[in-house]
C-alpha cells in the first residue's frame, strides 16, 4: 500500500478520446476500482469506462416516504383512537379518510428529504476542500484539461506500479496528489 499522505496519482491527457481510453484501460487492464476522471465537458463513453458504483437514491427515497407517511398515519391513529378519542357527530374514532391528506404530505416531505440526503452523501458533499485543489495544473480541468486520477485508497494501488501504468498510457504529465 501507499503512504497515507498520498491521495493518488493524477495524469493529464491531451484530448478527450485519450482520457476515455486511459480510463477504460485503467479499469480493465490495471484492475483499478477507485478511478476518477475530470474534463470541462461530458465525454461520451467515459461514465461506462469508469464503471461508477450505483447510487441507491431511489431506495432511500422510497424508504423515507414509507417511514414519513407510515409514522404520520400511526401518529394520527394513536392520537385519535387511543390517546384522545373525540366523538364528533357519532362517527367512529378511526375515520381513516381524514388521516390521508396529512400522511400524503409527510410521505412526500420525507421522501424528498431522504432523497436529497442520499444524493449529497453519494456525491461526497458537502466538501469544502478537495486534495486536487492543491495541484496547480488542475485549475485547467474546467477549461481545457483532461485528467485521470488513480486514488491511493484503491486496494490494488501501489505508487510505483501505478506510476508505471500511467506512464504506459502516454499522458502529458503525472502529478502526485498529497492528501
Give the pLDDT confidence of 71-93 residue by residue, as tens digits: 999 999 999 999 999 888 888 88
Bridge partners of 176, per DSSP, are 9
Q: CB–CB of 146/15 below 8 Å?
A: yes
Residues 61 and 49 in one domain: no
Residues 61 and 48 in one domain: no
For residue 4, pLDDT over 80 is answered with no
Residues 110 and 158 in one domain: no
Residues 33 and 68 in one domain: no
Residue 12 in domain: yes
Domain containing 69 equals 57-122
Give the residue carrying C-alpha cell 437514491: 57
Residues 66 and 44 in one domain: no
Residues 70 and 114 in one domain: yes
Q: Tell me the residue ranges of DSSP E strands in 14-140.
A: 35-38
Number of folded domains in the chain?
2
26-30, 64-68, 88-92, 138-142 — most confident range: 64-68
Average pLDDT rounded to a whole number, residues 85-105: 90
Q: CB–CB of 26/171 below 8 Å?
A: no
Q: What is the pLDDT of residues 14-62, one digit of tens each?
A: 999 999 999 999 989 888 888 999 999 999 999 888 887 777 999 999 9
Residues 38 and 62 in one domain: no
Residue 146 in domain: yes
Residue 1 in domain: no
CA distance 82 to 61: 30
Residues 47 and 75 in one domain: no
Residue 44 in domain: yes
Q: Decide: pTM greater than 0.85.
A: no
Residues 114 and 169 in one domain: no
Residues 62 and 107 in one domain: yes
Neighbours of 109 (CB within 10 A): 15
| Listed residues 122, 150, 168: the one ending a domain | 122
Residue 46 in domain: yes
| Listed residues 122, 153, 168: the one ending a domain | 122
Please give the grid coordinates belonging to residue 125.
458533499
Residues 47 and 67 in one domain: no
Residues 161 and 73 in one domain: no
What pLDDT sits at residue 2?
45
Confidence of residue 123 (pLDDT cuts 50, 70, 90): confident
Amino acid at each position: 500500500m501507499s503512504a497515507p499522505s498520498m491521495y493518488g496519482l493524477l495524469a493529464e491527457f491531451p484530448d478527450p478520446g485519450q482520457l476515455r481510453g486511459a480510463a477504460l484501460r485503467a479499469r480493465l487492464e490495471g484492475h483499478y476500482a477507485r478511478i476518477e476522471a475530470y474534463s470541462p465537458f461530458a465525454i461520451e463513453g467515459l461514465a461506462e469506462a469508469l464503471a461508477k458504483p450505483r447510487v441507491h437514491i431511489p431506495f432511500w427515497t422510497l424508504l423515507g416516504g414509507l417511514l414519513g407517511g407510515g409514522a404520520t398515519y400511526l401518529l394520527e391513529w394513536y392520537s385519535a383512537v387511543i390517546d384522545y378519542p373525540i366523538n364528533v357527530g357519532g362517527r367512529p374514532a378511526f375515520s381513516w379518510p381524514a388521516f390521508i391528506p396529512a400522511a400524503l404530505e409527510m410521505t412526500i416531505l420525507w421522501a424528498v428529504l431522504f432523497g436529497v440526503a442520499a444524493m449529497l452523501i453519494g456525491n461526497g458533499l458537502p466538501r469544502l476542500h478537495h486534495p486536487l485543489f492543491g495541484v496547480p495544473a488542475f485549475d485547467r480541468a474546467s477549461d481545457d484539461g483532461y485528467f485521470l486520477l488513480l486514488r491511493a485508497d484503491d486496494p490494488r494501488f501501489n505508487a510505483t506500479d501505478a506510476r508505471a501504468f500511467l506512464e504506459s498510457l502516454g499522458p502529458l504529465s503525472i502529478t502526485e496528489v498529497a492528501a
